[in-house]
């Protein structure tokens, strides 16, 4: 059985540290999901720190934190603003350096 991705396996910033914690105990951590602007910033930070990340990996990193629709909208906004480039052949996001 494949191992579930967690913050230690994620490339880029540690999402657990970047998000606001509402409740923490030994068994559970409750986080506040990022708003649209924060989600864009987190995605951009991950893309820049990794040098490129596949959309599937990005969705896996945000699993349980943000919906696929919100991730897709954020990625589309970043592409339109020329902050990231989406390679249509392999679905990889790359940072655009200006």
Number of alpha helices (DSSP H) and beta strands (DSSP E) in the chain: 4, 5
pLDDT confidence tier of residue 93, bands split at 50, 70 and 90 = very high
pLDDT given at position 3: 40
Domain-wise residue ranges, the chain? 15-95
Q: What is the pLDDT of residues 56-81, one digit of tens each?
A: 999 998 888 889 999 999 999 999 99
> 36-50 and 68-80 are packed helices; what angle lies between their axes, rounded to 10 degrees?
70
Residue 70 has which token pair? 């919100």
CATH number of the domain located at residue range(s) 15-95 in this protein = 1.10.10.10
Q: Are 12 and 51 in contact (CB under 8 A)?
A: no
Which residue matches tokens 């924060």?
Answer: 38
pLDDT band for 5, please (50, 70, 90 cuts): very low
pTM across the whole model: 0.77
Q: Which has the closest alpha carbon to 78: 94, 62, 65? A: 94
């Amino acid at each position: 059985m494949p191992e579930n991705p967690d913050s230690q396996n994620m490339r880029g910033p540690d999402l657990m540290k970047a998000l606001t914690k509402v409740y923490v105990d030994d068994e559970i951590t409750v986080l506040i999901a990022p708003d649209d602007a924060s989600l864009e910033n987190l995605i951009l930070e991950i893309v820049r720190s990794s040098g490129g990340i596949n959309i599937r990996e990005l969705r896996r990193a945000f699993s349980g934190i943000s919906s696929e629709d919100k991730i897709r909208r954020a990625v589309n906004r970043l592409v339109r603003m020329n902050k990231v480039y989406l390679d249509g052949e392999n679905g990889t996001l790359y940072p655009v350096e200006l």
